Amino acid sequence: MASSSERAWDTFVRRPGDLKCGGEAPLVLRDLRPGRGKYGLRHVVGIVREGDGPGDLLVVRTVVGVVLPGSYTVEIVRELPQEIAGTPYQDFYGALQRAAEPEPA
């Protein structure tokens, strides 16, 4: 796992092909550091990179919890609201994508 100075996160993707590396994408990150904040959630826009790179360690899982092979890092670009507007029992990933879109000027 990560050293004590860096954070470790995990995130979930619906399908392995949904993981976009190298560009900004909305993500739900779950804190993996031990202690009171373990499993705390953050909604962010981040850049996921395959292999070692700038940012924090990232574990990528499918929605049923299977860990994808390979190593990843995530660099957080900006925070999103903790509460995402949407319709109950509808597509969360769609609501997260809409929350990440820039506000019209």
What's the pLDDT band for 105 if we cut at 50, 70, 90?
low
3-class SS of residue 10: strand
pLDDT 10s digits, 48-79:
999 988 899 999 999 899 999 999 999 999 99
pTM assigned to the model:
0.80
Element (H, E) at 94: helix 92-100
> Which H or E run contains 76?
strand 72-79
Q: What's the pLDDT at 47?
A: 95
Please state, in angstroms and rounded to a whole number, the distance separating the CA atoms of residues 88 and 49.
Answer: 32
Contact 57, 2 (CB under 8 A): yes
Question: What's the confidence (pLDDT) of residue 3?
Answer: 42
Q: What is the pLDDT of residues 2-26, one digit of tens each?
A: 444 478 999 999 888 888 899 999 9
